[in-house]
Chains A and B, each alone.
Chain A
Amino acid sequence: MLKFIGKRFLQGILVLLGIYAVTFFLVAATPGSPFSSERAISPEILAQIEAFYGYDKPASERFITSLGNILHGDFGPSAVYANRTVTEIIAESFPVSLKLGSISLGVALLLGIPAGVLAAVKKNTWLDYVPMSAAMAGICLPTFVMGPLLALVFGLIFAVLPVAGWFGPEFVILPAATLGLYYAAYFARLTRGGMLEMLNQDWVRTARAKGVPERTIVWKHCLKGGLIPAITFLGPALAGIISGSFVVETIFQVPGLGQWFVKGALNRDDFLILGLTVLFAALIVLMNLLVDIAQVALNPRLKYD
């Protein structure tokens, strides 16, 4: 298993290197520069700024330098916000996004998986139809509809929750619900499908013939296999929760990473874009590795190799 993790880790490093290279040269090839602005700057000053940020050198040379810096944990300065480094920005806003993301994921799993199990066990009853219809609606509603809708209902009509900002625990609820409910819907449908497949297997009949109670059949015999589709979706779901946070963080004015991604792209803040890309890519690679480990742990027919 250690060998498997080591191998996948090295693969992950290669993937990150590739992502970094592609992003770097795409950004470098984009017309314009982080330093062009409406105000006329004298060529001497511009040359001085470019020299400060290393933009007087060719892109290939800058690539090597920045790669070396990243390996030392230095993502460079922000090209737009003077006196701030990308590392600082990440250190400040990443915990916010991490909190929002993990609570959303928690909502998605804790709501979606039990709902899916229940729907599968009570197939074709109202305990199946009601949650599954809600899940279908949840999948169909994009977060930029769901978010304002929740804000309208709980923030304005009932006026029980704050609709914007990040000043205390109650501020987490609406953004986490917006993000979490959407993925809860997916997890519910995937879990229902997985559980139904398990419950229809021949070996469930064997268990019944042994006198095993239905509850034990669900939890002991079927849950492991029934969770596999949901676990498989966990990797893409995490990527989705991260990118989904761009929208949700903007709707609810959460000072997380998402807003910096948007600002970085709009401002042509090359260092910020690159730093955030590497961070997100690393997160997704890590999550996929964890998902692969979890799958082997759940399914004895798979092996680490």
Chain B
Amino acid sequence: MPLLEVKDLKTSFYTRDGVVRAVDGVSFSLDKGETLGIVGESGSGKSVTCYSLMRLIPEPPGRIDGGTAMFDGRDLLTMGQRELRKIRGKRISMIFQDPMTSLNPYLRISTQLTEALRLHYDIDKKAAVNKAIAALEEVGIPEAAKRVHNYPHEFSGGMRQRVMIAMALITEPDLLIADEPTTALDVTVQAQIMDIIKKRQEDLGTAVILITHDLGVVAGTCDKVNVMYGGRMMESGTAEQVFYNAQHPYTRSLQKTIPSLQTKGEQLYTIPGLPPDVSKPIHGCAFYPRCPYPKTGLPEGNRPDLVELNDGHCYADCRFCDSSAPIESVLSTDVPEETEAAGAAE
């Protein structure tokens, strides 16, 4: 039995301007110790998926419309608040995107670090603080015994994210949800933070859901990958399947945007257009308007379901364009000639 099995999760926001279907039927599963990457552009529903699992969607306007999320045999989406609180912070922890705003500026680090421990375990204050110091040392905070009594504003952004990681893992949870943990940090710190998460995950055998739009990070750390777009999954499978045998035009386009995979001196590739407005009904394929492949038909009917290609590698069946050619051949026709000339001159 997988640790977490999400089936057909649907979350919408009921706003004055209409219903925003932020997550529209997402399914995936995760085993103990595994790492799942969820990638996609901003607004694709990655974060809302994970907040829904933790029931952290502000209600109203948000509402979980359907689906199940079985965690250890119990449905996270329907359980009572009391039961849910026993899972939050103890068995499932979360790291948030912005370490500058995710720690309470009015409470000492020691108070915040020990809070989950004291809530979920029968442990006295002194022992909890000692555990907190050890946790800070493990994420590489110097002089932890002294620093533990400081306030968040006395730490830098990277240090605060280390504190967040220590705080999330202090209860040794079964599952860690990391919502873009490095987006708000500068590049040199990003790699350090990812290393810490990875190391602690190996130490504790924690399963991780990593939300990111950095495909490089996904390739380096994840066992499985979900590609999301417009509130749905476009492709899913092992990291290898999704990276080396990408099927969906959206996945291929995303790969194309990785800067290091592009020729030096060439203008960086961006997917033209904007993510779809999920408050309006989407017919056929959500990516259709931005798809670089030759169109073979008009997008009609329901959005395509995932079909299995082989061995767990699934993708949203693309019926409206001819995606048989490799993406380079599709895009090369669009590259203006002067760019090529400039590349040759170099």
Contact = CB atoms under 8 A, between A and B. Distances in A.
B201 to A, nearest CB: 18
A4 interface: no
Interface in B260-302: none
A301 B151 CA distance: 8
B90 A299 contact: no
Interface stretch (B63-71, B100-108, B227-235, B237-245): B100-108
The 3 closest A-B pairs by CB, nearest first: A210-B89, A211-B89, A211-B88
Contacts of B89: 209-212
A299 B107 CA distance: 9
Interface string B88-113: 11100110101001111111100000
A300 interface: yes
A220 B98 contact: no
B153 A301 contact: yes
Interface of B: 54, 56, 85-90, 93-94, 96, 98, 101-108, 115-116, 119-120, 151, 153, 164, 167
A300 B151 CA distance: 7
A34 interface: no
A208 interface: yes
Given A224-B106, A300-B151, A300-B153, A207 B96 contact: no
Interface stretch (A155-163, A175-183, A197-205, A236-244): A197-205
Contacts of B90: 211
B196 to A, nearest CB: 18
B105 A225 contact: yes
Interface of A: 201-203, 205-213, 220-221, 224-225, 298-301
Contact of B103 (A203, A209, A212, A213): A203
A149 to B, nearest CB: 39
B104 A203 contact: yes
Nearest to B93: A209
Nearest to A202: B101
Contact of A206 (B102, B120, B151): B102
Contacts of A202: 96, 98, 101-102
B107 A221 contact: yes
Contacts of A206: 94, 96, 102-104, 164
A203 B85 contact: no
A210 B119 contact: yes
Contacts of B103: 203, 206
Given A209-B94, A210-B116, A211-B87, A201 B107 contact: no
Contacts of A205: 56, 96, 102
Contacts of A213: 85
Nearest to A220: B107
B16 to A, nearest CB: 14
A229 to B, nearest CB: 14
Contact of A300 (B54, B101, B106): B106
A206 to B, nearest CB: 5
Given A207-B115, A211-B90, A225 B106 contact: yes
Contact of B116 (A211, A221, A225, A301): A211
Contact of B56 (A209, A212, A221, A301): A209
A299 B56 contact: no
A209 B107 CA distance: 17
A108 to B, nearest CB: 24
Contacts of A201: 101, 104
Nearest to A226: B106
B105 A209 contact: no
A298 B106 CA distance: 8
A44 to B, nearest CB: 71
A301 B167 CA distance: 21
A291 B212 CA distance: 45
A224 B89 CA distance: 23
Given A221-B104, A221-B106, A225-B106, A211 B56 contact: no
A212 B116 CA distance: 7
B88 A208 contact: yes
Nearest to A214: B81
Nearest to A206: B102
21 contacts: A202-B96, A202-B101, A203-B103, A206-B103, A208-B56, A209-B88, A209-B89, A209-B93, A209-B94, A210-B115, A210-B119, A211-B88, A211-B89, A211-B116, A211-B119, A212-B89, A220-B107, A221-B106, A225-B106, A299-B106, A300-B108
A205 B50 CA distance: 13
